């Protein structure tokens, strides 16, 4: 049976923001195993500068998503000790009413 490749998911997706609120919460889950034992997750808001969101093995982390903004999460891995980092999967999400 084939194994699933590396992934980043959000629950819920899309993020639903209650009326009168400016943001909502989602849980970002990432899985790089079995292909990789370590990954770094980076976040860009509205195509801005990339910042580190998380690092390590497969895990999950809650985050707040603001209405009207676009959030892109990218998983970066390293192949070998001297290998350059590469992005292997991305997820973009937004919030809606």
Q: Domains in the chain, please, with CATH?
A: 7-96 (2.60.40.10)
The yes-or-no verdict on residue 91 having pLDDT over 80 is yes
Q: What number of CA atoms fall less than 13 Å from residue 55's CA on the CB side?
A: 6
- Return the closest-CA partner of residue 27 out of 9, 4, 46: 9
| 15-73 tens-digit pLDDT | 999 999 999 999 999 999 888 888 999 999 999 999 999 999 999 999 999 999 999 99
Bond into 20 cis (ω within 30): no
Rounded CA gap, 7 and 13, in Å? 14
Between 83 and 8, the higher pLDDT residue: 8
Would the pTM of this model clear 0.75, i.e. be above it?
Answer: yes
Give the per-residue pLDDT at 85: 87
Q: 3 falls in which pLDDT band (50, 70, 90)?
A: low
């Amino acid at each position: 049976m084939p194994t699933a490749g590396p992934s980043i998911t959000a629950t819920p997706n899309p993020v639903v923001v209650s009326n009168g609120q400016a943001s909502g919460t989602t849980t970002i889950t990432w899985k790089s195993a079995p292909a990789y034992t370590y990954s770094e997750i980076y976040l860009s808001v509205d195509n801005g500068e990339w910042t580190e969101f998380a690092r390590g093995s497969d895990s999950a982390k809650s985050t707040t998503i603001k209405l009207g903004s676009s959030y892109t999460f990218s998983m970066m891995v390293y192949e070998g000790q001297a290998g350059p980092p590469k992005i292997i999967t991305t997820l973009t999400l937004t919030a809606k009413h």
